[in-house]
Amino acid sequence: MAERPRLRAGVFVDRDGTLCEEVGYMNHVSRFRMFPFVAAALRRLNQAGYAVMVVSNQSGIARGYFPESVLEEVTQRMKQQLAQAGAKVDAVYYCAHASSENCTCRKPKTGMLDCAAREHAVELQRSFVVGDRYIDIELARNARARGILVRTGYGEGEVAWHAAKWPAPPDFVASDLAQAVDWILRQPR
Ligand SMILES: [Mg+2]
Ligand SMILES: [Zn+2]
């Protein structure tokens, strides 16, 4: 009998405020500033065998604030900077829709994760979502993954002003992506 291919666990990482500075609409590649700890953190996930994927809402496209080519340029720059430090992301997913379009991919809906699960043989229940907004935690919950909130970007304010009304807390609150990765790597596989 053929052995079923083993599914990987994934780490889905938000972009703005988690991998790079939150600058509002990143409408030009010159606004991209990756946090200095990101490459080393992602390299550890790469080495541990996790699929690493970026999942980002970019409604600025639908709103006409900047063209889709900007997303491509930012992705290229991010990949270059990671490659120089021996790290990589396995895939990058964007939702370019406005919330009024009711698509299935805008976070906290799970469309991007469902797609990644199929394309990269990832098991969502063994996976993690890391982000600076509570919608990233809702995304994790909707996908039955674990959610880690980072205090970079909007995170500190999310914790300070909204934690009391969260329907359920994040599985972990980390100072930044590096500490989030520390926590992930301590979890039993
Ligand atoms: Mg964010
Ligand atoms: Zn969408």
Report pLDDT digits (tens) over 4-44. 668 999 999 999 999 999 999 999 999 999 999 999 999 99
What CATH number should be reported for the domain holding residue 124? Answer: 3.40.50.1000
Q: Which of 14, 90, 136, 171 is catalytic?
A: 14
Q: Which of 16, 90, 136, 176 is catalytic?
A: 16
Which of the 8 DSSP states describes residue 25? Answer: S
Half-sphere exposure at residue 84, Cβ-oriented, CA atoms within 13 angstroms: 8
- How many domains are contained in the chain? 1
14: annotated active-site residue: yes
Mean pLDDT of the chain: 96
Inter-CA distances, 177 with 18, 49, 84, 107, Å: 7, 17, 19, 19
pLDDT at residue 152 greater than cutoff 70: yes
70 found inside a domain? yes
4 found inside a domain? no
3 found inside a domain? no
5 found inside a domain? no
2 found inside a domain? no
152 found inside a domain? yes
pLDDT value, residue 6: 85
Q: What is the pTM of this model?
A: 0.96
pLDDT at residue 120 greater than cutoff 90: yes
Ligand nearest to the CA of 24: 1
Domain coverage including residue 125: 10-162+170-186
126 found inside a domain? yes
Express each pLDDT in 60-106 by its tens digit. 999 999 999 999 999 999 999 999 999 999 999 999 999 999 999 99
pLDDT value, residue 2: 63
